[in-house]
Amino acid sequence: MSEETVEKKIILKEEDDYIVNMGPQHPSTHGVLRLEVCLSGETVNYMIPHIGYIHRGIEKMAESDTYKQVIHLTDRMDYLSSHINNEAVCLAVEEALGVEVPERVQYIRAILDELTRIASHNLWWSAFGMDLGALTTFFYGMRDREKILSIFEESFGSRLLHSFNTPGGLLHDVHPDFRKHTLEYVKYFRKKLPDYKNLLTDNVIFHNRTIGIGVMDKKMAINYGVTGPSGRGSGFSCDIRKAAPYGIYDKVKFKEILYHEGDSFARYKVRMDEMVESLNILEQLVDNMPEEGGFTAKMKPVIKLPEGEYYQRVETARGELGVYIVSKGAKYPYRIKFRSPNFSNLFVLNTLSKGGIIADLVAICGSLDLVIPDIDR
Amino acid sequence: MILDIYSFSTLTSSIDNSLHNMMSPWMATLTEFVLVGIVFLLFYALLGLFLVYLERKVCAVIQNRIGPNRVGRWGIFQTFADFIKLLMKELITIKHADKFLFNLAPFIVIIASFMAMAALPFAKGLQAIDFNIGIFYVIAVSSLGVVGILIAGWSSNSKYSLIGAMRSGAQIISYELSVGLSLLAIVIFSGSMQLSTIVESQADGWWIFKGHIPAFIAFVLYLITATAEINRGPFDLAEAESELTAGFHTEYSGIKFAFFFLAEYMNMFIVSAIAATLFLGGWMPFHIGGWEGFNQIMDYIPSILWFFGKTFVVIYIIMWFKWTFPRLRIDQMLNLEWKYLLPLNLMNTVIISFVVLMGLYFK
Amino acid sequence: MNSTIKYFTDIFKGVLSLWAGMRVTGKYFISPGEIVTEQYPENRATLKMTGRFKGEVIMPHDENNQHKCTGCGICELNCPNGSIEIITKKVPNEEGKMIRAIDKHIYHLSMCTFCELCIKTCPFDAITWGQDFEHAVFDRAKLTKVLNKPGSSLKKKEVKS
Ligand code: SF4
Ligand code: SF4
């Protein structure tokens, strides 16, 4: 064996490390994520995430599905922002075909995007509170999220995985009461927000648990590709809705929420402010939504993309979702690759939690808002 | 022998007398021991189950839910059903666990909380033993439970349990100080450690009113530290389910788990009962000096009701804490104790001594 | 001195913020009208699913036990996970010619992902969503359903005026 080819072993763990296994079944990992945590006392020395417990091979499955069928698979990646995932594929296909979708569809899609975002942040708020031991937040968050889900159910018939988008538009029109109920919801939720503030945002224990915990600076966020609210909490301006507007977003007035502290509390604040911002967007959109215009563009029954590569990115509730489609001109995609936000967001966890204690690890993990099926796909 | 709901002394002394008439003195004492033990055991189990039910109902209403409502009307038999379920569950034996200690731990925990009950004055003349150092006894006995928790964590051969137990150890050692100091406030006020004397001293007004600001501060401090001592509310680090799955009782199952569970709730009852006895007048009715008519109406309410009423108010406050706040981190919790609660407590003790010396409280 | 003042203001602010939180939970505690629990098996009678609810795929039959499915198999083609199997048979029509007709429209509820593609693509609107949501069974085989009822036949196309 020559000098150059000497095998170099990277030692991940020592023999006598005190390893605690968090997961795959653990209350604070919110899914089947396994964290191998090395402790000394309560201090975390390092942490190795193990993923793949819920790998379903969505990308491979998508290769034998038509473009319309791919949609329902994307639902099952980040199940909390299923509508936005759908939209990413639809936008990519529409872009490839050069189809112009009616403005009304764009409005509806954006409204649903924002509703999805609020619902997702709402669930995250509940779960984050629960991670930190405030169990009541879970029920308040769920209670308010339920209202959005009812709006969804009324229009699409399902609450979580609604496969409502289709290349070219929507599967069918929204319910006649959709606009009324959305406005009602906006009013309702604005009334509930002070509770959220009093219960958690202003709480001194919560401050102690999150401020200065898991500080991620802007450079680190960019290096790891941490996007979404987690990235924006570090001052990384990465909102796709602003950077590369899709759909109706270039016509909507809204702020990109940026915080520069980079700690768990900053990430928390970004999401809380984003909910308010989403409410503002909703009010703008719902009022201006055109009544006429149908719900789908004219599409051929069998969609065949011209040969080439297509990339579309959207802003899900957790960050940048990229869809990369390679087409060979058939009705099936040759290859689909999803750049999922959670995959990148997960791997910053080790760096952030190093040196903290277990309770911090839980807080950081919660503040990154991971959805495990999106990591594994 | 009539049952006088206003004073149990006639009842207890008549039982005592008849026993003494029937048998030799030591036999009578033995029978009394057994009787009291059985009564307490029953009371303990029933109250524990009721508290579990109460907690579930209270948290449900706080969280906009209904809570248990399937077994019996309003679900009152839910905890009994759960208890039966726990009885029938398999007792899982843990590989490489220290069998003896593992089995011993739940008993230590439950005995510690059981013993503390002996000194509680439930009503006029209803108290198993009236020590002259009652407060001291209760503090001493109730802190025994941590030994059980430590043993449980150590013997179950699980890392989660061990971390939980260590946390609990650190927590109780530090909070014991503040609990003692905040109770000292009332000892200074009343000049006695005997629980019956303390209750008598509140005949004309509860200490929380008579002792005004310092007594109120002591009361709040006691509530916080006592919550920490019983591993509840925002201080439930020993079980911290989002971090350690279930902390020290991760590996326990079946009835042994039920023991921990019951002991936790009974501890809550005991600290609330102490708070009620010391600060809120125990079984003493609510009296306002000078309002004779009002005082008489208050006297019509039996003393046992007063005691339980006050205790449940305190229990509700403790539950309210738990269902509102996020959990503290272990280092923050120790900080809170050593940097805030202990200095405040010491300061308060000095102030109280001053107040008592100068006679600045309402007599 | 400043640090002493800060020490006490910290305590004061902390207690205030805690009190704010307790006010929220306390408010909900004394207003039981806010309870949102659905008492499910009891409210079966009043529980209304929205009209578009995706419970399961069903094939509506009219009073003559007739449906609209021709057995074309388009739904089977469009289902992304093979939840639908179409078994056809040959039956003679009025002129005596053998034509294809549906024998069994097999629907595997256990595999369905409720993507609605079959319903959307059916050229004859033969299938639609059913509102039933109580699908729990002890035997997985029970989730495989035959959608066309036994003895049913194809509905004649009404002549458009
Ligand atoms: S249900 Fe519709 S699509 Fe399916 S076989 Fe029948 S007619 Fe064809
Ligand atoms: S809803 Fe989708 S998955 Fe279900 S049977 Fe129809 S096409 Fe198949």
User: pLDDT (tens digit, 9 = 90+) per residue, A69-86?
Assistant: 888 888 888 888 888 888
CATH of the domain at C140: 3.30.70.3270
Contact residues for B137 (Cβ-Cβ < 8 A; gap 6+)? B119, B131
**Ligand 2 centroid, distance to C119 Cα (angstroms):** 8
**CA–CA distance from B137 to each of B115, B117, B140, B193, B267 (Å)?**
9, 10, 5, 9, 15
- Is the same domain home to C110 and C143? yes
Residue B281, Ramachandran bin (φ over 0: left; ψ between -120 and 50: alpha; else beta): left
Give dist(CA C25, CA A138) in Å, integer.
13
Q: Check A72 against C24: CB less than 8 A apart.
A: no
Q: Which of A117-121, B40-44, B234-238 has the lowest mean pLDDT?
A: B234-238
The residue range of the domain holding A196 is 58-341
How many domains does chain A contain in total? 1
Whether the bond between A24 and the residue before it is cis, its omega within 30 degrees of 0, is yes
Q: Check A139 against B328: CB less than 8 A apart.
A: no
Q: Check B243 against A206: CB less than 8 A apart.
A: no
Nearest to B245 among A26, A140, A359 (CB): A26
**CA–CA distance from C105 to each of B95, C85, C111, C136, C146 (Å)?**
54, 6, 15, 22, 5
- Is the same domain home to C18 and C97? no
Q: Is residue C132 part of a domain?
A: yes
Question: Which atom of ligand 2 is least distant from the CA of C54?
Answer: 1
- Is the same domain home to C6 and C64? no
Q: Check B330 against A359: CB less than 8 A apart.
A: yes
pLDDT at A80: 85
ipTM score of complex: 0.80
**What integer is the mean pLDDT of C7-32?**
83
- When the pLDDT of each residue in chain C is averaged and rounded to a whole number, the result is 81
- Is the same domain home to C15 and C82? no
Q: Is residue A63 part of a domain?
A: yes
- Is the same domain home to C118 and C86? yes
Nearest-CA distance B284 → chain C (Å): 28
The answer to whether residue A268 scores a pLDDT higher than 60 is yes
Written in H, E and C, the secondary structure of chain A is: CCCCCCCCCCCCCCCCCEEEEECCCCCCCCCCCEEEEEEECCEEEEEEEECCCCCCCHHHHHCCCCHHHHHHHHHCCCHHHHHHHHHHHHHHHHHHHCCCCCHHHHHHHHHHHHHHHHHHHHHHHHHHHHHCCCHHHHHHHHHHHHHHHHHHHHHHCCCCCCCCEECCEECCCCCCCHHHHHHHHHHHHHHHHHHHHHHHHCCHHHHHHHCCCCCCCHHHHHHHCCCHHHHHCCCCCCCHHHHCCCCCHHHCCCCCCCCCCCCHHHHHHHHHHHHHHHHHHHHHHHHHCCCCCCCECCCCCCCCCCCEEEEEEEEECCEEEEEEEEECCCCCCCEEEEECHHHHHHCCHHHHHCCCEHHHHHHHHHHHCCCHHHHHC
pLDDT tens by residue, B96-134: 777 888 888 888 888 888 888 877 787 776 676 777 888
**What integer is the mean pLDDT of A138-155?**
86
Give, to the nearest 10 degrees, the angle between helix A103-131 and helix A82-97.
150
Q: Is residue A150 part of a domain?
A: yes
Give dist(CA B261, CA B246) in Å, integer.
12
In eight-state DSSP terms, residue B173 is H
pLDDT at B242: 67
Residue B300, Ramachandran bin (φ over 0: left; ψ between -120 and 50: alpha; else beta): alpha
Q: Is residue A23 part of a domain?
A: no
Q: Is residue A238 part of a domain?
A: yes
Q: Ligand 1, from C85, C99, C102: best to mutate by most atoms within 8 Å of Cβ?
A: C102
Give, to the nearest 10 degrees, the angle between helix A178-196 and helix A135-156.
170
CA A331 from chain centre, in angstroms, equals 29
Report residue B264's pLDDT band, with 50, 70 and 90 as the boundaries.
confident
CATH of the domain at A62: 1.10.645.10
Q: Is residue C157 part of a domain?
A: no
State the CB neighbour count (10 A cutoff) for residue A311: 13
Nearest to C80 among A65, A153, A205 (CB): A65
Chain B residues near residue A364 by CB distance under 8 angstroms:
none
pLDDT at A168: 80
pLDDT at A140: 87
- Is the same domain home to C148 and C79? yes
- Is the same domain home to C71 and C32? no
- Comparing CA positions, the residue from B352, B363, B334, B357 lying closest to residue B175 is B334
**What integer is the mean pLDDT of C39-54?**
80
Q: Is residue C17 part of a domain?
A: yes
The answer to whether residue C160 scores a pLDDT higher than 60 is no
Report residue B1's pLDDT band, with 50, 70 and 90 as the boundaries.
very low
Give dist(CA C143, CA C56) in Å, integer.
10
**What integer is the mean pLDDT of B337-344?**
85
- Burial grade of C38 (CB within 10 A; 0-12, 13-18, 19 or more): exposed
CA A53 from chain centre, in angstroms, equals 19
pLDDT tens by residue, B75-85: 888 888 888 88
Q: Check C116 against A171: CB less than 8 A apart.
A: yes
Q: Residue C152 corresponds to which tokens in the numbers above?
A: 């049913």
Q: Residue B2 corresponds to which tokens in the numbers above?
A: 């009539």
Give dist(CA A158, CA A161) in Å, integer.
7
State the CB neighbour count (10 A cutoff) for residue C85: 15
pLDDT at A104: 84
Query: Which of 10-69 (B) contact C at CB < 8 A?
Result: 58, 61-66, 69
Q: Is residue A138 part of a domain?
A: yes
Q: Is residue C44 part of a domain?
A: no
pLDDT tens by residue, C83-103: 888 888 877 777 777 777 778
Q: Check B64 against C34: CB less than 8 A apart.
A: yes
Report residue A2's pLDDT band, with 50, 70 and 90 as the boundaries.
low
Chain C residues near residue B325 by CB distance under 8 angstroms:
18, 21
Q: Are A209 and A302 in contact (CB under 8 A)?
A: no
- Is the same domain home to C69 and C16? no
Residue with tokens 């207690």: C15
Report residue B2's pLDDT band, with 50, 70 and 90 as the boundaries.
very low
- Is the same domain home to C5 and C74? no
pLDDT at A174: 80
**Ligand 2 centroid, distance to C143 Cα (angstroms):** 14
pLDDT tens by residue, A85-127: 888 888 888 888 888 888 888 888 888 888 888 988 988 888 8
The residue range of the domain holding C87 is 56-152
Q: Are B88 and B257 in contact (CB under 8 A)?
A: no
Residue with tokens 């915990």: A213
**What integer is the mean pLDDT of B159-182?**
84
- Give the whole-number percent of chain A exceeding pLDDT 90: 0
Q: Is residue C159 part of a domain?
A: no
- Is the same domain home to C68 and C137? yes
pLDDT at B307: 82
Query: Which of 201-260 (A) contact C at CB < 8 A?
Result: 202-205
Query: Which of 74-103 (B) contact A at CB < 8 A?
Result: none
- Is the same domain home to C122 and C77? yes
Q: Is residue C12 part of a domain?
A: yes
The answer to whether residue A128 scores a pLDDT higher than 50 is yes
Q: Residue C24 corresponds to which tokens in the numbers above?
A: 């929220």
The answer to whether residue B299 scores a pLDDT higher than 80 is no
Give dist(CA B72, CA B350) in Å, integer.
52
Q: Is residue C51 part of a domain?
A: no
Residue with tokens 């215009």: A293
Report residue C158's pLDDT band, with 50, 70 and 90 as the boundaries.
low
Q: Are A58 and A79 in contact (CB under 8 A)?
A: no
A-C CB pairs within 8 A amount to 70
Q: Are A346 and A370 in contact (CB under 8 A)?
A: yes
The answer to whether residue B269 scores a pLDDT higher than 50 is yes
Q: Are A266 and A70 in contact (CB under 8 A)?
A: no
Q: Is residue A12 part of a domain?
A: no
Chain C residues near residue A192 by CB distance under 8 angstroms:
none
The answer to whether residue C4 scores a pLDDT higher than 60 is yes
- Is the same domain home to C137 and C93? yes
- When the pLDDT of each residue in chain B is averaged and rounded to a whole number, the result is 80
The answer to whether residue B341 scores a pLDDT higher than 60 is yes
pLDDT at B229: 82
